[in-house]
A = this chain, B = another copy of it.
Amino acid sequence: MGKRQLFLMSSSAVHGFGYLEHAETDLSSFLKHNSVQKVLFVPYALTDHDGYTERVGSVLRKWGFACNGIHTFADPVAAVRAAEAIYIGGGNTFLLLRTLYERGLVGEIRERVLQHGVPYVGSSAGTNVATRSIQTTNDMPIVQPPSFEALALVPFNINPHYIDPEPNGTHKGETRPERINQFHELNDAPVLGLPEGTVLFVDGDRATMMGPQPTVPGTVYDARLFRKGQESMLYKIGSDLSFLLQQ
């Protein structure tokens, strides 16, 4: 996996920042470092493909990158094969994965990223599908994909939009840690809870926690790692998480 280049964002929207603004410095560097001039955007997690591509593309253009929506190509597989970089946006994870399977893109994207080193950018649902499965998404199962298995660009699961329980909450629905513990009653893979604002950056066999300078005083961007049968652990921005890649 020496070529693998992944920029996995928890979310596009972050409290205290404009849309994608929290990632401007790091994502621009990631793309420039990989000599990317044009990004292939995959808007399948939402239904308004044109609107979604314009929303992301207008930000990328401001930063100096061109952006095309995969839905504008007659042959999406060929579009992936020709892409300088692939960026899968957030929305509904089930809709996204179903569409990737329908269009025959799961194997193709995996091969481009893992074998050819094409840089991959994901946000929220686009980060979920980058992992081994979508089993730790927060989304509603509004459509049924043929499988929950995903791109498997990394051998563990991520929970985007991760949030610790409110200390004095009155809502009795399962907290995020309770949901992830239920996952571990039936599955073995580690789950990295990425709070909004944070990014998992993967460079070959190295993985690093990244995140912005907070604009709201007191904001803490710690990721919480859940492993089956163990206490969860917090990891600060800058932490080396390469051990998660060795499964």
* A183 proximal to B (CB < 8 A): yes
Which stretch, A27-35, A62-70, A137-145, A233-241, touches the partner chain B?
A: A137-145
How many copies of this kind of chain does the complex include?
A: 2
Chain B residues, Cβ within 8 Å of A105: none
Determine the distance from Cα of A144 to Cα of B145 in the docked complex, in whole angstroms. Answer: 10
- Complex Cα distance A144/B139, Å? 15
Bound Cα distance from A92 to B15, whole angstroms: 30
| Min C-beta distance of A52 to chain B, whole Å | 13
Asked whether, in the complex, the Cβ of B173 is within 8 Å of the Cβ of A161, the reply is: yes
Taken together as a complex, chains A and B put the C-alpha atoms of A110 and B140 apart, in Å, by 24
CB of A174 within 8 A of chain B? yes
Q: Per a CB cutoff under 8 Å, which of B140, B148, B216 touches A135?
A: B140
Cβ contacts under 8 Å, A137 to chain B: 140-141
The main secondary structure of chain A at its interface with chain B is loop
| Min CB gap A224→B, angstroms | 15
How long is the Cα–Cα vector from A183 to B91 in the complex, in angstroms?
A: 12
Closest chain B CB from A15 CB (angstroms): 4
Give the distance in Å from the alpha carbon of A186 to the alpha carbon of B94 in the complex: 12
Query: Complex Cα distance A173/B10, Å?
Result: 10
Asked if A13 lies at the interface with its beta carbon under 8 angstroms from chain B, I say: yes
The contact of A182 among B92, B172, B183, by CB within 8 Å, is B92
Known: A92-B182, A171-B196. A142 touches B138 (CB 8 A): no
A172-B11, A172-B14 given; A138·B135 CB < 8 A: no
Task: Report how far A186 CA is from B139 CA in the complex, Å.
Answer: 14
Interface flag for A134 (CB, 8 Å): yes
Chain A residues near B (Cβ < 8 Å): 11, 13-15, 47, 91-92, 94-95, 134-144, 147-148, 161, 163, 170-174, 179-180, 182-183, 185-187, 196, 216
